[in-house]
Amino acid sequence: MAHAPETIDAYLADHAARFEGQLFELLRIPSVSAQPDHNADTRRAAQWVRDDLIALGVPAELIEFDSGHPIVYGERLDAPGQPTLLIYGHYDVQPPEPLEPWLSPPFEPTVRDGNVYARGATDDKGQMFTHLKAAEAWLKTVGRLPVNVKFLIEGEEEVGGKNLEAFLAAQTRKLACDYAVISDTSQFAPGLPAITYGLKGLAYFELRVQGANRDLHSGTFGGAVQNPLNALCQILASLKGADGRIQVEGFYDDVRPLEDWERAAFAQLPFSEADFAADLGVAELFGEVGYSTLERKWARPTCDVHGLWGGYAGPGPKTVLPCKAGAKFSFRLVPDQDNRTIAQAVRRHIERHTPPGVTWELEEMHGAPAVLVDTTTPGFAAATRAIETAFGTRPVFIREGGSIPVVGLIKQHLKVDTLLLGWGQNDDNLHGPNEKFSLADFHRGIRASAHLMAELAG
C-alpha cells in the first residue's frame, strides 16, 4: 500500500461538501476553554469530536479529570507491524473578544473568498479535523487504516491546562508511538506548504511592584517616595538594549547558534522584508542586530511586554502617585535555553535593576522548552512526499516563532519527535478577530494526511 488508493481520493472528492458542513457544525460550538460560562459548550465540543470519531470507525472516549476539560482519546490499531501515529489536536479555542472588529460573528462560520471565518477555524478545529476525515476516507473505503493511529484531542491547550501532561506522564504505554503528528502551524505562504522543524520555547512572567501603602497626591508626596510605576518602567526598560539584545545576564549562554546551512536556507525562501514591513504598516522592522527578520522570528530569542497597568489611564488628567503597578512580559526561547534557568536569571536581573523604595513579586506563568525535530527520519520524508502529492508543491522546511508546549512533553514522555504539518497561513488571524482557514487548504490537508498514512506503511 505504497500509495493511497484512488478510491480514497475519490471518496474525499465525493464527500468534500459534507466535510465542510461538519467543520462548520464544530465551529458553531463556542468551546472557549478560558471562560467558565462556556464550560458546557467546551464539553459539547469534546463530545462532538468523540461522536465523530466513533461514527467514522475509531472507538473513542472522553477522559475525565477532577477539574478542567476532558481529553478525547480514540485509537484504531489494526496494522500490526506498521508504524503508529499519535495525532494530537485541540478542540478548545481562544476567547473571541473583542467582538466589534469581527465582520461576521465568531461562532457563525461564514465563507468569504474561499475562506471560512470563525474562531477556531485554523487554531485548531479546522486543522485537527483534517486528520479525522483522512481516517474516515480509509475506513469507509479500504475498511482499515494502513498504519496504527491514536487520536489525542485536548480541550485545555489555550489555557495551558495541566491535565494533558498528567495524562501523558501516566499513560506512556497506552500512548506509545513512532511519530506524533500535529497540524497547528502555518504554511510558508499561499501555495508554498511547509514542514516546521523548530518551535520557540517560552518563559512568561507577571511582575507586580508595590510602593506606599496607598495612592498619594503626586504634588504633596512626589519627590518623597518611589513611584512603583516609574520603577516598573525602569525594570522593563532594562530588559532589552536599543540594539535589540536582551540584557539579562547569562541569557544567551545556552543559545545554540544558527547553523550556516540554516542561514543559507532561510535566505533562499521567497521573503521580502520590505513587503513584510508594508503589510504590517511599519516604516521599518526592528530586532536583534546582526540577524535577518526570518532568523529573528524563528531562531533567535526575543523579549516582549504584553501588558502594563497602574495609576490612572481614564479620561482627563489625574495627578496620582500610584501605590502599585504591574506588567506581563515574556521571552521566546530557542534551543538549548531552559525556561527554569531563564526564570532564575530574570529574577536576579530584577533584583539588580529595581530602584530603591519598592518591593516586587514575580510570578512564572508559562514555561515551555524550544524544540527542534529530527528532519532525517523516514516519517519526515514520508510527510514531505504526502504534502507534495496533496499540495502539488514540495514543502519547504521552516522554523516558527510560536510555541506548542505539548511537542516538548511528547518528546519527554514518549521519546518521539513530532511532525509539524501546518495547513494554515500566517495571516489567518489566530487568537485575533476574523480568524480564518482556507477551505482549499482544508481539503488539501485531509488529502495529505490520508497519503501520509499510506506513505508511512511499509
Contact positions vs ligand BES (CB under 6 A): 123, 157, 160, 184-186, 202, 366, 368, 400, 402-405
**Distance (Å, whole) CA 26 – CA 116:** 12
Hunting for cell 544567551 — which residue is that? 252
**Distance (Å, whole) CA 6 – CA 110:** 31
| Nearest residue (CB) to ligand BES, 232 versus 404 | 404
Using CB under 5 A as the binding rule, whether residue 428 contacts Zn ion is answered as no
| Nearest residue (CB) to Zn ion, 154 versus 417 | 154
CB 366, min distance to ligand BES, A? 5
* All three cell numbers of 84: 503508529
| Nearest residue (CB) to Zn ion, 165 versus 254 | 165
CB 45, min distance to ligand BES, A? 16
CB 334, min distance to ligand BES, A? 14
The closest of 144, 123, 137 to 424, measured between CA atoms, is 123
Hunting for cell 479500504 — which residue is that? 142
CB 444, min distance to Zn ion, A? 21
**Nearest residue to the partner ligand BES, using Cβ:** 402
Using CB under 5 A as the binding rule, whether residue 123 contacts Zn ion is answered as yes
Which of the ranges 47-55, 120-128, 357-365, 442-450 carries the binding residues for Zn ion, by CB under 5 A? 120-128
The two beta strands, 84-90 and 396-399, are: unpaired
| Nearest residue (CB) to Zn ion, 41 versus 123 | 123
| Nearest residue (CB) to ligand BES, 199 versus 454 | 199
Q: Strands (DSSP E) along 50-113, which ranges? A: 60-63, 71-76, 84-90, 110-112
Using CB under 5 A as the binding rule, whether residue 154 contacts Zn ion is answered as no
Using CB under 5 A as the binding rule, whether residue 9 contacts Zn ion is answered as no
User: What does 435 bind: Zn ion, ligand BES, none (CB cut-off 5 to 8 Å by kind)?
Assistant: none
User: What does 146 bind: Zn ion, ligand BES, none (CB cut-off 5 to 8 Å by kind)?
Assistant: none
| Nearest residue (CB) to ligand BES, 147 versus 383 | 383
Residues sharing a CB contact under 8 Å with residue 127, sequence separation 6 or more, in sequence order: 89, 183, 184, 422, 423, 424, 437, 445
| Nearest residue (CB) to ligand BES, 138 versus 437 | 437
Helix, strand or coil, per DSSP, at residue 27: helix
CB 328, min distance to ligand BES, A? 12
Residue 68 identity (one-letter amino acid): G
Residues sharing a CB contact under 8 Å with residue 119, sequence separation 6 or more, in sequence order: 27, 30, 32, 93, 94, 96, 106, 107, 435
Which of the ranges 28-36, 116-124, 190-198, 292-300 carries the binding residues for Zn ion, by CB under 5 A? 116-124
Tell me the sheet residues that pair with 421.
Answer: 195
CB 324, min distance to Zn ion, A? 31
**Nearest residue to the partner Zn ion, using Cβ:** 123
The closest of 298, 328, 325, 327 to 204, measured between CA atoms, is 328
**Distance (Å, whole) CA 134 – CA 145:** 10
| Footprint of Zn ion (CB under 5 A) | 123
